[in-house]
Amino acid sequence: MVRKIEGILTGYAQKLTLVDPIFRLLTSLIFIIGGLGHFFRPEEMLPRMEESPWRDTIHAIGDPLLLLWLSGAAFVVAGIGLALGWMTRLSALILFVTLIPVTITIHFAPGHMGPLFKNVAILGALFFLFVRGPGSYALDNRKG
């Protein structure tokens, strides 16, 4: 029975080209919405940075507000690129590289295991998109 279901789903997935843009869009939304929060809700995010066990490292790297804005800009711009399938591999790489320090400094702390593994799953999706590319219905696929 499992093989029959697998066969049906495999054949169906090969015909359903909307999976690619839906996957890119759903993956990108957390970055676009979250990145906008870096600009419009810094009063909520800065205290989380201060509560981090890595706060001294964050301050050594730079001003927390500036780092928040830089990561927000990367999340929004690359998130939109990912959603549109424009410069998909570069967008996925930028998001991946930006998400790693955010994950380590904010979510790699006691009591943050849920957000930590959410980010690990998102890193997996970004890795998949980086390796696979944009798929169907992407600006990367334009001719010329």
pLDDT digits (tens, 9 = 90+) for 86-143: 999 999 999 999 999 999 888 877 776 778 899 999 999 999 999 999 999 999 999 8
What domain range is 71 assigned to? 20-136
Asked whether residue 2 carries a pLDDT value surpassing 70, the answer given is: yes
Asked whether residue 15 carries a pLDDT value surpassing 70, the answer given is: no
| Nearest-angstrom CA–CA distance, 61 and 9 | 48
The answer as to whether 2 is a domain residue is no
Q: Maximum distance among all alpha carbons in the chain?
A: 57
The answer as to whether 110 is a domain residue is yes
Kindly report which listed range (25-34, 76-85, 113-122) carries the lowest average pLDDT score: 113-122
The answer as to whether 96 is a domain residue is yes
Helix (H, G, I), strand (E, B) or coil at 109: coil
Asked whether residue 52 carries a pLDDT value surpassing 70, the answer given is: yes
pLDDT at 98: 97
Burial letters for 42-57: b for 16+ Cβ neighbours within 10 Å, e otherwise?
Answer: beebeebbeebebeee
pLDDT band at 144 (very low <50, low <70, confident <90, very high): low
pLDDT at 105: 87
As for how many domains the chain has, the answer is 1
The answer as to whether 84 is a domain residue is yes
pLDDT band at 1 (very low <50, low <70, confident <90, very high): confident
The answer as to whether 14 is a domain residue is no
The answer as to whether 71 is a domain residue is yes
The answer as to whether 15 is a domain residue is no
pLDDT at 100: 95
Of 134, 124, 122, 135, the residue nearest 34 (C-alpha) = 122
